Amino acid sequence: MHELGIVFHMIDTLKEVGRENRLASITKVTVELGEVSGVLSDYLQDCWRWAADREELLAGAELEVLVIEAVTVCNACGRTYRTVEFGRICPHCGSSDTVLLRGNEMEIASVETPG
């Protein structure tokens, strides 16, 4: 379960943001999570709740996860398609010369504070 390690890294980043901005608390954190990132949203939420509540800055903070659709481009025909539905083979021309454009990322998108 690498989600716990990811949450610890997020918390370290958020504590740094909190120090830099003199924040007393954070009420909500929104992350963008690619649908083929390998990170399981449910596990991430469980790990978040366990770890965040142990930090004064993040106690009770909500974690919102926005799923980013995976999109692949075909180098043969130049068209894009939904990765999860079709995999590595282009549904338009049948080529396997494809590259993932998005959907593998995970990043903190926003932080909300009280008031």
The answer to whether 109 and 68 are in contact (CB under 8 A) is no
- Asked if residue 37 is part of any domain, the answer here is yes
| Residue 100, pLDDT score | 98
**pLDDT at residue 66 greater than cutoff 90:** yes
Please state, in angstroms and rounded to a whole number, the distance separating the CA atoms of residues 71 and 40: 19
Domain that holds residue 9: 3-69+103-112
- Asked if residue 40 is part of any domain, the answer here is yes
- Asked if residue 59 is part of any domain, the answer here is yes
Amino acid 39 reads V
- Average model confidence (pLDDT) across the chain: 97
Residue 47's nearest CA partner among 26, 31, 35, 63 is 63
- Asked if residue 97 is part of any domain, the answer here is no
pTM over 0.85: yes
